[in-house]
Amino acid sequence: MQTINVAIFASGAGSNAQKLIDHFRKHSQIKIALIVCNKPGAGVLTIAQNENIPSLLIEKEQFFRGNAYVDELKQHNVDFIVLAGFLWKVPVQLVKAFPQRIINIHPALLPNYGGKGMYGRFVHEAVIAAKETESGISIHYVDELYDHGQLIFQARCTIEAGDTPDSLAQKIHALEHEHYPVIVEKVIEDLQNRVK
């Protein structure tokens, strides 16, 4: 069975990227082949360096008006893309080049609290301001709209009376780290089985 090469797209410190790298370190068929980042100096680039994983720093013009780096991804034999705290919208060219092969994790229960500008702390602030009693994570396929593609998995956590955006963020991070690598593995294995 062929190895599936995964590219992780991230914009920040890379805690989810690190969990994914750790999870697939010894996997016989799934390999983290590339880290793609849109922010010079982001923590995830240090992780890539420490793990000896090639990285690609992308810039806005080519991503949105060029070919969305599809050629570079092909050069690295990328088969699948995992977004892990990547803050740019994915351009149509990339979605078309990797149909049903790009997944994202969102720190709320979609379809609520998704869309443009809804990321990180902004999501947790909105959820708490709305006096919700629960939040969670949504893992979904990526299409050309923000936080819109078909849902794959959700996990929930309770919001206590004293929770703040920061304490909620910690609960959400715990859910992300627990579930994302496992679900990524399952989605890729299902894909391999369909391709066979």
pLDDT of res. 191: 86
Indicate which residue of 23, 27, 76, 106 is catalytic: 106
- At 69-110, the pLDDT tens digits run 999 999 999 999 999 999 899 999 999 999 999 999 999 999
**Three-class secondary structure assignment of the chain:** CCCEEEEEEECCCCHHHHHHHHHHCCCCCEEEEEEEECCCCCHHHHHHHHCCCCEEECCHHHHHHCCCCHHHHHHCCCCEEEECCCCCCCCHHHHHHCCCCEEEEECCCCCCCCCCCCCHHHHHHHHHHCCCCEEEEEEEECCCCCCCCCEEEEEEEECCCCCCHHHHHHHHHHHHHHHHHHHHHHHHHHHHHHHC
pLDDT of res. 78: 98
pLDDT of res. 192: 84
Q: How sure is the predictor about 116, in pLDDT bands with cuts at 50, 70 and 90?
A: confident
pLDDT of res. 144: 84
CB 140 within 8 A of CB 104: yes
pLDDT of res. 196: 65
The average pLDDT across 150-162 equals 97
- At 35-76, the pLDDT tens digits run 999 999 999 999 999 999 999 999 999 999 989 999 999 999
- At 135-155, the pLDDT tens digits run 999 999 999 888 889 999 999
pLDDT of res. 147: 84
Say which amino acid occupies 164: T
Percent of the chain with pLDDT over 70: 99
| 106 noted as active-site residue | yes
Judged against a pLDDT cut of 80, whether residue 184 lies above it is answered with: yes
**pTM value?**
0.95
What is the C-alpha separation between 100 and 95, in angstroms, rounded? 8
pLDDT of res. 53: 98
Measured at the CA of 46, the angle between CA 41 and CA 49, to 5 degrees, comes to 130
